[in-house]
Structures are given as C-alpha cells and as structure tokens.
Structure 1
Amino acid sequence: MVRTAVLRAFGSEMRSLLAGASRSRLGVFGVGLGVTALLQSSAATALLLTGFAGRGMIGVAPALAAMLGADIGSTLIVQVLSFDIAVIAPGLILFGVLIFMPSGATRWRQSGRILLGLGLMLLALELIGAATAPLAGSDTLAAVIAPLAADPVFAVVLGALVAWGAHSSVAIVLVIMSMAASGAIAPPLAFALVLGANVGSGLIPIPLTLGERAPARRIPIGNLLVRTLGAVAVLPLVQLAAPHLAALGGEPARLVANFHTGFNLVLAAVALPLVGGVARLTAYAVRGRRHGDETDPGRPRYLDDSAVDTPAVAIACATREVMRLADLVEGMLRDSLRVVREDDAKLMSDIVARDDSVDRLFDAIKLYITRITHEGTPDSGESERCTELLTFAINLEHIGDIVETNLMDLAYKKMHHGLHFSDAGWAEVQRIHQRVVANMGLAINVFVSRDVASARQLVNEKAHLRELERAASDAHVNRLREGKPESVESSGLHLDVLRDLKRINSHITATAYPLLEAAGELRETRLRERSGAPRAAS
C-alpha cells in the first residue's frame, strides 16, 4: 500500500530525480537511497532503473550505483520499525482511513494510504511477535532450527528463496526480527537468514526484466552479483559479528536491524568504486539479441511497466509509442502508391512485413492502456485520454490493414495482369493520395496538439476529399464512355483504389471527432430537418 501510494502521488518527481542524477555516481547513489526509503522496496527502484536503461536514459554503471543506495534505503524502514512503536498503529490506521476515504485530491488521498499502510505494518509486526513468542520454548522448532544453525549456507539459500517468493526482503527481515525478539532463533542464524534475504532481493527483478533490452537486463544481474559476493564474503563472519553488535547494546530485534544496515553500508563502500568494472562484466555476460531490439519496429520502446501505477507518466509513455505507430503507418501509406506505380514487388513485401510490425505494436499498446485503466486508477481526465489514445491506435491499425490487405492486393493484380492507368486516371489517383497523406500529417498534429481549429480543418478536408473522389469517379466513367482502352481494362482497379483511399481518409478524420465533441463543435446529426417535422425534445 505504501509503495503504491508513493508511486501514484510522487512517481513523476522520483523518476525525474533518478534520471537527472545519473551524471554523478554519488548523486545517483543518494537519489537511489532516498527513493527506496520512500518506496520501501529496492526491487521497485530496480524496475524504475531498468526502464530508464532500456530507453538509454541512464548507463549501467550509474544504475548500479543507484542500486547500492537503494539497498541501503530499504534498511531505513527496518531501522524505524525496530523500535517499539506499535502503540501508534491504531492511530495511523484511523487517520489513514479518515484521510483516504473522502478525499478527492490525489496526493492527499495517497497520503492517507501511506499512513494506513504504515499502521498495518506495525500491527502485523506486533501480531507476528505475539504469535512467535511461544515458539521460543518449542522442542519442534528447536529440531527444525538446529540443522539451519549448523549449516549457515543452507540458511542463506533459504532466506534468499523466501525473500524472492515474498517479493520483499524488507518483509522477511522484519519477520526475522520478530523471531529473534521472541528468542525463537539465535542472532548468528538470524544474520545468515538476513544475508539470504539480501540476496533474494536481488533475485526479484530478474524474471521481471527478461524481455527487456540488454542494458536493462544487466542492472539486476550486476546488482545480484554484487550482493551474492558480499553475502559470501560476510557469511564466515556472522559468528564474530554477534558479540560485537551485542556490545553496542540493544534487543535481539535491533541487532538484526543493525546487521542488515551494516552489511549494506559496508557493501556500498566497497562496491561503489567498482561499479564500472561490474558494468563491463555484465556487458560481456549479457549480450544484445542477435536481431537487436532496435531493429524490430514491432517491439515497443517506450511502454514502461514500472510507470503503470502512475497514470500521468504511463499515458506519456503510451503517447510516445502511439506516435511510433503513426510513423509506421504513415510510411506504409506513403510507399503504397510507389508500389502501384512501379510494380515494385520487393517494396510490396516490405509493406506487408511492416503491417505485421504494426499489428504487434498495436497489441502491445492496447494491453498497456488497458493496464493503465485497471491498475493505475486514473482520474476522469486521464481515463478520457486513455480512450483517445486507444481510439487513435485502433484507427491507425485499420489504416495499416487497408494498405496491406486492399491496396497491396490491388497492386498485385495490376502487376500480375499487366494493367495500366490512363494518364488522366493516374493523375487523379496521385492527387487524392497526396491529399490523404497530407491529412494523415494533420491528424497526427491534431492528436498531439489537441488544437480545435486544426481538428475542424481535418473534418473539412473529409468533405473536400469526398468531392475529389466523386469528381474522379465521374471523370473515369466519362473515359469509359469514350472507350479509352487503358480506362476500360483498369476500371475496377481504378475505382477500388479510390474507394480504399477514401476509407483510409475516414479513419484519419476520426481523430478529430473526440476533440471536437469535447469542445462542443459537433452537431448530433448531419440530417436536415424537414419543414413541419417533429423536433426532438430538448
């Protein structure tokens, strides 16, 4: 709850901080620490960083430095909760509910969610402590714990697996603290389990980033490597650490919290100067795919999964991806006339392949926008923008289908049967095609700028193109009456091309309607009222 609330309320600012601090290792280290202290999850910070690395916004070495800070940040909440402050849990829950329920302001509402989440954490710790207290004298638990105490390596592996399964090293460390406080486990065993939890936190983001580009996949792997080597180096010292930490004072739970923080501080001090070498090692181990992410136009580049919880940021990502889709479709539309004119079979095959990319990119955008509306709890304005994005993407996908299925099929028939347009007929097709391409550019401008005047112009262009198409069809019929051979043999082809260009233009014009409707610029019907006809009730 706390992580979700922080992302929704302050996600944009945190992303800006992480992206802007990448010039300095110490700077990005500090930002990673602060962001994770708020998010209470180093795995969440890792996913943010992999999203930046995948888009080339941050290098692997600075991202690894940020992860070292993130690992320390995750220990801060453990330190706070190691104090006996459970008495304030009911107050946090009460005030959290009171703020969250009636509030309409996003940040104020999310602040209530943060208080509620913190109160539930404190309550949970108190309950865990009460539940584990009787275990201290349990013969059964002693029989289970004995093998773990005798085999610290197995304890580390167990701690790692449990932390990975729970998707939270913080939660597991807090449970270990509760068990240590009740006397159920001795400090050395608790320290070994904490080392395992730290390794497990490095495992969490790896499966979640398998589909990312190589730079993004290198960050969690490099972080896991650093944490595993640190755990291996410290494990032989856990027996020695317990007396020294106990000399500093504190209850068993605080010993566990101090060990957790101390391990991450030492690891950061040792590894921070070495992140460049670790980055080079991961570059050698994790190579880019053979065909390369950048060469596949159907693979999304800007759909950041970690941004879904922050609708404003996620919508910006989706908008960038929809613009890529528009560029692909516009290129198909431009090149389609060349295929018809030059009988270019190679270009025809390329356009067909591009439509496959359009379909795959559209599917990714559609699923991403659906996730925004279901997981990100957007407000009414953001929901409306999601609908506009999806509608525009649907129209673009339909245009791609018309180009690939209809125009390329007509081009194949022309090529296969050796057909030719008359000079006048070809000039008409070119003129209408140029108008449709120009309208495509205008539609993209309307979508981005949301300018009402441009939207009106786009709708007016639909009427102009309809007149052009009608005039071209009439002229073609006149040439048929005159018996011109080229017009007779290409008649069906000519009329079908005009029809498909008109259909494409209709999908293009649809971009303007949501904006004009919101601005009150549309009438309910285009039908004229008959004199004496009953009027609709107002």
Structure 2
Amino acid sequence: MKHLLNLLAAVALLVWGTHMVRTGVLRVFGANLRNLLAHSMRNRFTAALSGLGVTALVQSSTATSLMTSAFVGQGLIPLPAALAVMRGADVGTAAMAVLFSFDLSWLSPLFIFVGVVLFITRQDTTPGRIGRVLIGLGVMLLALRLVVEATEPLLESATVRTLLASVSSDIFLELMLGAVLAVLAYSSLAIVLLIAAMASSGAIPLDVALGLTLGANLGSGMVAVLTTAKAAIEVRQVTVGNMLFKIMGVAIVAPFMGLWVTYAQPHIPGAGQNVVLFHLAFNIFNSLCFIGLTQTVARWVSNLLPKPADHSAGSLLRPRHLDPSALSTPSLAISCAAREALHQADVVESMLIGLQKVVESDDAKLSHEVRKLEDTVDDLYSAIKYYMTKISRAELDEREGQRWTEIISFTINMEQIGDIIERVLQEIEDKKIKKGRHFSEAGKQEISQLHEHLLSNLRLAMSVFLNGNPREAQKLLEEKARFRDLELAYSATHLNRLADNTVPSIETSSLHIDLISDLKRINSLLCSVAYPILESTGALAPSRLREPVAK
C-alpha cells in the first residue's frame, strides 16, 4: 500500500509540475504568445510552426487549443488556420516529452531553489512568475525520478504483474486507459512522461506503453473538447476538428504499432526513449499527413456543428466575448472583458439614439422597446462582473490590475447610464406623450444639440477606454466643461421662455429641466473614464481649489 501511495504521489507531483509551468508561462508571456499566434496565419505552414513554438513554451497542446479556439470565437482567425495551428501544437508537446525523457534530474534542485527564491522575494512581478515556471520544471524532473523509484517495488507484486498482463491483451483497452489518464491529469505530456518512466523501469512492456501513448493523444484532444463543451459553436469547432485529426491518426497507426517494436526498437536504447520517440513520430506523421486537409476537416466540422442562425435581435445582445477558456490566461481574459464592456457601451449608444428619436417623434412603442434594452445592459453588466471575479487579481501585474479596475468602473457607469435613460423615457411617456404635450421649437433644438454632444462624447469615451490615449482623455474632460456650460446656458434660456409666457415651455418646464440635468449626469459618467488615465500620467491637479478654505 505504501509503494502504491508513493507512486500516486509522484504522479500527482508530475501533473502539478506541468500545471505550474503551463500557468506560469501563460501569465508571463500570454499576451505575446497570443500576438504570435494571431500574426502567423499567412498560410497553414507558418500557422503550424507558430503552434509548435507556443506549445513548446507552455508545454500543453490543450492550452494552445484553448487560445486558438478563443481567437476563432472572436472572429480573429478562420477555422482552417486554427486547425493548422493545432497540427504544429501536437508536435510541440511531443518534442517537449523527448526533452524531458533525458536524465535531467541534476537540474531539479537547481530549478526548485532558484524558483523558490524568485517567487518568494518578487512574487507579484515578472521574475516572480518566472520563478513559478522554474519551480514547476524542477517538480516535474523530481517527479519523474520518483515515479521510477516507486514502480520498482510494485513490480515484485504478483497481483500487479497479473493486472499488467491483462491490459496488454487488448489494444482497445490500452487506448481507453491512456485517454482516461490524460483526461484525469489534464495533460497528455505528464501521462506520456509517466508511461515512459514506467516502461523504462520495466513496469509495463513496450507494446502496452505504445498503446497507452496513443490513448494519451486521444485524451489530450478530449480534454479540449470537454473544456469548451459549453462555449460558442465557433470555439467548439476548433477542438472537435482537432479531435477528428487525432482519431484519424490513431486509426491509421494503431494497427501498425508492431512495426515500431520490430524495426525501431533495436536501434533505440531504452524503453522510455522508445515511448517518447514513438510519441513524437506519431505526431509528426499526423501533422504532415493531415496538414493539407485542414480545409476539408473545417468543412466537416462546420457541417457537424453549424452556426445557429440569429433570427432575433435579442440573440445579438447576449455576451459575445466572455470566453471561459481564456480565464487561465489573465491578459487574455482581461482583453475579453474589455471587448464585452465595449459591447455593453454599444447597447447604451443604441439607447441614447432611441431616446432622441422618442423625444422627436413621441413614439410610445419605440420608447417601450428602448427601455427594454436596459435589461440587456444590466445582464451584460452582471455577466462581465461575474467573469471578472473569476480572474484572480493576485495573478495580474500592476498594469493588468489597473485595467481590471478600469473595466469594472466603465461597466458600472454604463449600467447607471442605462438606468438613467430608462427613467427619462418613462418620464417622457408619463409627462409628455400620454398628456399630448410638446417641447417648444427652441427647447427641442437645445435638447437635440445636447444629445449630439452626448453621443459624440460617448464615442470618445469608448475610444479612451479602448486605447488609453492621454490626449483623447484630456479632450474628453474639456468636453465635460463645455457640456456643463451648455447646460447652464440652456437652463437660462428656458427660464427666459417661461418669463415670456411661452405655452409649450410652461407645460413641459419640469420635464425639460430634468431632462437636460439628466443628460449632464450621463455626460459626467462618460467623462469619468478619463480620470484614471490622466492620473497615471500625472496630468491631474490634486484639487480644483485655488487655496484652502479658511476656517
């Protein structure tokens, strides 16, 4: 029992080490890796090479699959290009398995020592995150040595020998067991290294190890499929297409595994080296054989998982960019949340445009439709807020942490603007449309001008939120002062019309004053986007007071 627990603990360490390396690399280089993938789609071969390079760094074809799926879901790259990336990704993770199969145990204490020092002393910085990667590498190398040591006593058990003999009698069972292990471990790399270590120690015969290795390849594809099971159709198409490639490859290679044992084994020293080189050879064969079929498989997947037709406007107002698979990469998740915040602002812009149309046309039906959009703004705010809470702020660097705060603040402001517009429309219905009252021509013109300024400032605020340009932020604050001056001027001219006994102005006076006041509040919420950007550049004065007020 003790030896079995030692083996399970060693396997757990191996899986944990691969997890630390994967998450650490994504936290340090996530944005750069995304840019590399996004800019390497000139043809299927450059896409495959980028997939190979990225996967060699993150040591997980599943992580590369999820990043690539997110790009497809956001419409940044086409499905065939994403499938080409995955052809290279599988080769990348197989190459890392070959590297780890060498005796690098002497590096384990060095990696762990240096990694712990960096991680503890500079935890929230880039060197600290690199330290996390080094700890993961050290743990992986240590775990591989412990697996070999733990399997040796188990081989002396007659029960274990009988169990291993039963497995070797069924290739289908070997494939299933390898796939299940890869799914449970969330890493085909860890399982292939485990299989290689057990084969080198004599725990399992080579033919069984090869069957388990093919099964681990199937499992890695299944992990990505399961992870994106509830994602958008475009995202699922990538993982399902990659799974089809793996199934076809295994179906071709599995019947001929005996050829490897007969012709390759005599020239390769050690069973462990045989396993990792077979793993690499399989993925190279699979990639070269099917790289020309990415367009064909893309068509198959598109027919198997067709995009749903959007027949209702409401379907376009659901969250579009909050990709759950991006949460493992904080920089990618922050980008997804920012795009969804702009989507929320687009809905608010539609409400503002609708508000002006209602003021001009007194259309009660349109007013009701525009007010219903406020529910969409609230739903998007809730979805973004919930998504943001899943991003650990401890894993964000200083700039990402600031961006996290900016997104939350922006979405709160959009939600409040939606509330204001809904209330204003309700007041227009109650105080103007139902009573058959109208603004004076001069009053209507003033509201129209304020609305034009407000709509322009909303678009400027969206640009400031997206780009963080200090010059545009300063312009937005200048627009805030200009809007305040217009509001004061129009309030004064409205009072003059009251003094002149202008009947429409008298009938709608309360509504008119409240409306321009609410438009000013909306403008203030929009302009608040500029403050964090100007504050970070030191462009804001500490106080607007000329001197302290005397007590």
Q: Find the counterpart in structure 2 of residue 5 from structure 1.
A: 24
Q: Secondary structure at the match of 1:259?
A: helix
Q: Distance in 2 between matches of 1:333 and 1:279?
A: 41
Q: Does 1:159 align with 2:178?
A: yes
Report if the CA contact (8 A) 2:231-2:324 is conserved: no
Q: Distance in 1 between matches of 2:44 and 2:314?
A: 31
Residue from 277, 282, 291 that aligns with 1:258: 277
Cα 1:103/1:312, change in 2 over 3 Å: same
Deviation of the 1:44 alpha carbon: 0.6
Report if the CA contact (8 A) 2:195-2:212 is conserved: yes
> Which residues in structure 2 correspond to 1:35-434 (within 5 Å)?
35-103=54-122, 106-291=125-310, 296-303=315-322, 308=327, 311-312=330-331, 314-374=333-393, 377-403=395-421, 405-413=422-430, 414-434=432-452
Deviation of the 1:197 alpha carbon: 0.8
Q: Distance in 2 between matches of 1:449 and 1:220?
A: 32
Deviation of the 1:337 alpha carbon: 1.4
Q: Secondary structure at the match of 1:22?
A: coil
Q: Find the counterpart in structure 2 of residue 536 from structure 1.
A: none
Report if the CA contact (8 A) 2:319-2:340 is conserved: yes
Cα 1:50/1:530, change in 2 over 3 Å: closer
Q: Distance in 1 between matches of 2:124 and 2:485?
A: 50
Deviation of the 1:446 alpha carbon: 4.0
Counterpart of 2:434, as a letter, is H
The answer to which of 186-195 and 230-239 deviates more is 230-239
Q: Distance in 2 between matches of 1:516 and 1:232?
A: 60
Q: Distance in 2 between matches of 1:364 and 1:425?
A: 39
Provide, for residues 227-249 of structure 1, a one-character-per-residue CA deviation record: whole Å limited to 9, x for no partner.
12222333333344333332123
Q: Distance in 2 between matches of 1:449 and 1:194?
A: 47
Provide, for residues 19-43 of structure 1, a one-character-per-residue CA deviation record: whole Å limited to 9, x for no partner.
2222222222222122211111010
Report if the CA contact (8 A) 1:410-1:497 is conserved: no
Cα 1:424/1:284, change in 2 over 3 Å: same
Provide, for residues 345-369 of structure 1, a one-character-per-residue CA deviation record: whole Å limited to 9, x for no partner.
4433442343333333333433444
Cα 1:10/1:461, change in 2 over 3 Å: closer
Q: Distance in 1 between matches of 2:481 and 2:34?
A: 45
Q: Distance in 1 between matches of 2:463 and 2:241?
A: 42
Q: Distance in 2 between matches of 1:132 and 1:171?
A: 16
Counterpart of 1:28, as a letter, is A
Deviation of the 1:204 alpha carbon: 0.9
Report if the CA contact (8 A) 2:148-2:198 is conserved: yes
Q: Distance in 2 between matches of 1:444 and 1:374?
A: 24
Counterpart of 2:415, as a letter, is E
CA RMSD between the two structures: 3.0
The answer to which of 488-497 and 328-337 deviates more is 488-497
Report if the CA contact (8 A) 1:32-1:66 is conserved: yes
Query: TM-score by structure 2 length?
Result: 0.86
Q: Distance in 1 between matches of 2:334 and 2:57?
A: 23
Cα 1:16/1:514, change in 2 over 3 Å: closer
Q: Does 1:486 align with 2:504?
A: yes
Report if the CA contact (8 A) 2:123-2:129 is conserved: no
Q: Which runs of 5+ in 2 are unaligned?
A: 1-19
Cα 1:161/1:292, change in 2 over 3 Å: farther
Counterpart of 1:421, as a letter, is F
Q: What percent of counterpart residues are identical? A: 40
Q: Distance in 2 between matches of 1:494 and 1:274?
A: 65
Report if the CA contact (8 A) 2:393-2:401 is conserved: no
Q: Does 1:437 align with 2:455?
A: yes
Counterpart of 2:406, as a letter, is E
Q: Distance in 2 between matches of 1:120 and 1:447?
A: 42
Counterpart of 2:425, as a letter, is M
Provide, for residues 320-354 of structure 1, a one-character-per-residue CA deviation record: whole Å limited to 9, x for no partner.
44333333322321321111220224433442343
Q: Distance in 1 between matches of 2:53 and 2:33?
A: 9
Q: Distance in 2 between matches of 1:293 and 1:365?
A: 22
Q: Secondary structure at the match of 1:276?
A: helix
Provide, for residues 422-466 of structure 1, a one-character-per-residue CA deviation record: whole Å limited to 9, x for no partner.
333323332333333333344334445545565455445445544
Q: Distance in 2 between matches of 1:81 and 1:436?
A: 60
Q: Distance in 1 between matches of 2:463 and 2:201?
A: 65
Report if the CA contact (8 A) 1:218-1:286 is conserved: yes
Q: Secondary structure at the match of 2:317?
A: coil
Q: Distance in 2 between matches of 1:221 and 1:89?
A: 37
Query: TM-score by structure 1 length?
Result: 0.88
Provide, for residues 170-198 of structure 1, a one-character-per-residue CA deviation record: whole Å limited to 9, x for no partner.
11112222222232222222222111111
Provide, for residues 380-436 of structure 1, a one-character-per-residue CA deviation record: whole Å limited to 9, x for no partner.
233223212321221122112211x21221232232332222333323332333333
Q: Find the counterpart in structure 1 of residue 35 from structure 2.
A: 16
Report if the CA contact (8 A) 2:227-2:325 is conserved: no
Cα 1:422/1:209, change in 2 over 3 Å: same
Provide, for residues 302-325 of structure 1, a one-character-per-residue CA deviation record: whole Å limited to 9, x for no partner.
455555555555544444443333
Report if the CA contact (8 A) 1:465-1:502 is conserved: yes
